[in-house]
Amino acid sequence: MHSDHRNTDQKHILTMRYPAAWWRSQWREAMPSGNGCIGASVYGGVYEETILLNHELLWRKGSTPELPDVSAILPEVRRLLAEGEAEEADGVLVKCLRTSGYEPKIASPLPLGDLKIYMPQHSAFRSYERRLNMATGEVTVRWTVGETAYERSLFVSRTDDSVVLAIRKQGPLALEATMTFQPHNPEDTRRPGTAYIPEAPESKRDGHYLYYAARNNDGSDFGAVARIVNRSGTLGANEREYSIKDAESLLVIIRLFPSGKREEQWERLTFELRDLAADYEMLLARHASEHGRLFHASSFDLRAQGRERSNEELLMEAYRGEVPDALMEKMWAYGRYLLISASREKGQPCHLYGLWAGDYDAVWAFHMVNENLQMMYWQALSGNMSGLMLAVFDYMDSLMDDFRTNARLLYGCRGIYIPAPTAPDSGLLKHLQPHIVHWTGGAGWVSQLYYDYYLHTGDIAFLRERAIPFMREAAWFYRDFFILGENGFFVSSPSNSPENTPGNYWKGPGHSMGTTVNATMDFAIAKELMRNLADGLRAIGESEEEENQWRAMLERIPPYQINEDGAVREWMHPDYDDNYHHRHQSHAYPVFPGIEVTRQNDPALFDAFVQAIRKRLVIGLKEQSGWSLAHMANNYARMGEGDLALECLDILGRSCVMNNLMTLHNDWRGMGIGVDMDWAPVQLDANMGWTAAVQEMLLFSVPGELHLLPALPTRWIRGSVGPLLARGGVQCELSWDREEQMVDVTLRTCSGRQAVRLILPDMVARIQEFEFRPGQPVNVKLDERPRRLRLELKPLS
């Protein structure tokens, strides 16, 4: 029988000892496979197997009425804010939109359907396990009955755009199976009666083909075709399902369609499947080569013991207080695996459920640009997977007309305004809540991703043709939106610091009043955007006049303000007091995820931002969430606090991680960690943020400057990572051993000859080949040939 160990080691294998068991929502504990376009979730039942199928383009359509022009009301909102009437100003724009009849509804991912497999068992099973090989994307379910071993293996082919399933047995007993398509369980909805359940479902069999379709709320069909190849056996006569007895093996190849007319799509997919080679091993090898190219582009190794242990065993150890190294390796790899499996060039960006949403009313399953989408992709560039970022840029570029409409009709501005939530069918404002309407930083924050892609790859064509045009329109909005105050600095009004309420307006948990003036995050994003735009224009050698205009605007952005307690203020306005009782840390943007303020370039301001981050701890664990713990881990990594970053991951590991290692928004078991909710939504941003935090602990970069092991946790005695991709286009591989007092560093530039400054951790005692003075940077010249350096460490204390 096939073994999924062939191309990997145990640190890339996730093993579970029991099937998905979460009542009514088994898909949450399923094993995921995907090719960036199609997702398959394997529940793992022995007798009754369910494989949930999803397609990136299948969404329940939203409603998109014409957005009214409410920009004329903006002066009234600003007048109220200027007069200290923030609570009255809070609802003005939203009320105007609603009285104009604007009641939109945002789209939501829609489960395509389930492949059901029934395999009668004549004796009780033994030796059950299900596995995911992250290096290949192959999910395998195994068990034995007497002397016969059974196995189902599945992957979603990146090269052949198909779900491929093999069912095998080895031993004297027969292989008996019945397969059919059916709509996904209609009970999988958080609010029964409110979600759209697909209509007109149809399943049928024609020879060795199964057909399935249902109808979306826009009248279009979606569905699937499966080609089934059996080795021996007797085929049943049922016209709605494929039933076979006494077979040696089965091969099932499935293709999906997200829209169209069912009869036409069935015919098209049938012809495509006929031409596809019915060879599991060949299809797997072809897929694994491409999937593996991405997965193995970087690695992380802590020389962990116990990698062969199951997820359940590793999580039980994590519940004792510390995530074991074997689970740390797997969680880093899993975040990487999920992003690869749910994202690809010319596809849709990964949202919070990836390609594995089984809820008909999935909570927050759209693209959120007030942190969630960004956190999904923080790992991609440093993790040497820059190509995955292109899905984000393709998505944003496709919605530019809607973003321009938002800017013009909401605020009377040129350029673009990106609402916090969007969906593939529309970039128009769809959520009528003041804290959404008044947050104007979306386009600027997304601009960071565009420019960071250029900084990491050195792709000057991308900078000229895609990044600068996008950034220019984001900056145009600020040019029109900001007003000049009496002190000569810009005023941002209305303003919002996601998703916080100022302390003097806060009335306890659950209360929100976020309409303010001069949120620090507004100016942090605008400053970063204008500086990057000006620097980008200089890099491509165009429009010195335009460059100077943006640099002149930089002079009008007010300086950051510091409270009496030494922390940077969240609102740069005397009318709004800081409120530390909130998990968001938006005003720390210049330290993370931005790179404006570092300990090296402005130590005093850096310490004020660190103080602001520390002040947030007053909220305690009960107000945290999966994503906020991941965000805090990244913040601590930037602060150089590796042990505190690791502690955040330890807490995350025992509070918001399910047994398939997917992360949830909050602890669902009443363990005292995370916000109280009536539901625990899947949120894969914590998975991705975990991977990003590990990379931040081991390498931080600004153009021309690499910080090696800036936040190495004490527990990580030895290990290796890389290649990680640094800003400036430098690939960095690191291995360390504290007991041997050694760090090996290999550097290679991907963008021509350059010099970089190395910022070394305090534990370094000596560096070979170069003059080294503790506390001083080391200058290294690089070219495309690998340059190896060896650092000697101080003895362990």
Q: Using one digit for the tens of pLDDT, what is the confidence trace for 366-376?
A: 999 999 999 99
Is 592 inside any structural domain? no
Q: Average model confidence (pLDDT) for the chain?
A: 94
Can you say how many angstroms the Cα of residue 417 is from the centroid of all Cα atoms in its chain? Answer: 22
Is residue 580 packed enough to be buried (19+ CB in 10 Å), middle (13-18) or exposed (0-12)?
Answer: middle
Last residue of a domain, one of 675, 697, 719: 697
Rounded to two decimals, the pTM is 0.97
Verify that 105 and 116 share a domain, yes or no: no
Residue where the block lists tokens 């369980």: 185
Residue 3 pLDDT exceeds 60: no
Structure tokens at 637: 């990594």
Check residue 618 and give its pLDDT. 62
Choose among 716, 661, 671: nearest CA to 694: 716
Q: Average pLDDT in the 45-55 region?
A: 97
Looking at 530, 548, 570, the residue that finishes a domain is 570
Whether residues 91 and 121 share a domain: the answer is no
Q: What is the DSSP letter of 574?
A: T
Please name which of 98, 727, 159 lies closest in space to residue 457, comparing C-alpha atoms. 727
Kindly report whether the peptide bond that precedes residue 499 is cis, defined as omega within 30 degrees of 0: yes
Compute the distance between CA of residue 114 and CA of residue 43 in angstroms, rounded to an integer.
11
Say if residue 709 is in the same domain as residue 736. yes
Number of folded domains that form the chain: 4
Residue (of 11, 9, 28) closest to 19 by Cα position: 28
Strands (E), 262-381: 299-301, 367-368
Q: Which amino acid is at 535?
A: D
Average pLDDT rounded to a whole number, residues 173-183: 96
Do 440 and 529 fall within a single domain?
Answer: yes
pLDDT (tens digit per residue) in 473-490: 999 999 999 999 999 999
For the chain, percent of residues with pLDDT exceeding 90? 86
pLDDT tens digit string along 313-328?
999 999 999 999 999 9
Q: For residue 150, which of 1, 315, 318 has the smallest C-alpha distance?
A: 1
Asked whether residue 493 is assigned to any structural domain, the reply reads yes
610 in any annotated domain: no
Does residue 68 belong to any structural domain of this protein? no
Domain that holds residue 549: 79-109+411-570
pLDDT tens readout for residues 618-641: 666 767 889 999 999 999 999 999
| Residue where one domain finishes, among candidates 246, 266, 296 | 296
Largest CA distance in the chain: 88
675 shares a domain with 549:
no
Residue 433's pLDDT is 94
pLDDT of residue 670: 84
CATH of the domain at 485: 1.50.10.10
- Tell me if 195 is assigned to some domain: yes
pLDDT band at 742 (very low <50, low <70, confident <90, very high): very high
Can you state the angle between helices 468-481 and 442-457, rounded to 10 degrees?
150
pLDDT of residue 673: 83
For the ranges 195-204, 453-462, 576-585, 690-699, the lowest mean pLDDT is seen at 576-585
399-412 pLDDT, tens per residue? 999 999 999 999 99
- Report pLDDT for 620: 66
Residue 5 has pLDDT above 50, yes or no: no
Q: Which two tokens stand for residue 453?
A: 């892609």
Please check the confidence at residue 4 and state whether its pLDDT lies above 60.
no
The confidence score (pLDDT) of residue 1 equals 66
Q: Do 561 and 671 belong to one domain? A: no
Residue-level pLDDT at 307: 96
Assess if residue 506 is contained within a domain: yes
Does residue 192 register a pLDDT over 80? no
Q: Are residues 45 and 190 in the same domain?
A: yes
pLDDT tens, residue by residue, 533-562: 999 999 999 889 999 999 999 999 999 999
**Same-domain status, 415 and 387:** no
Tens digits of per-residue pLDDT, 297-308? Answer: 999 999 999 999
Same-domain check for residues 433 and 492: yes
The CATH number covering residue 168 comes to 2.70.98.50
Q: Using CA atoms, how far apart are residues 134 and 171, in angstroms rounded to an integer?
A: 29
Tell me the average pLDDT across 15-37.
Answer: 92
111-134 tens-digit pLDDT: 999 999 999 988 999 999 999 999
User: Are residues 117 and 96 part of one domain?
Assistant: no
Q: Per-residue pLDDT averaged across 728-734, rounded?
A: 96
Give yes or no: residues 166 and 251 share one domain: yes
* Beta-carbon count within 10 A of 281 CB: 10
Same domain, 115 and 20: yes
Answer whether residue 575 is part of any domain.
no
Residue 719 within a domain: yes
Residue 292: other Cβ atoms inside 10 A: 18
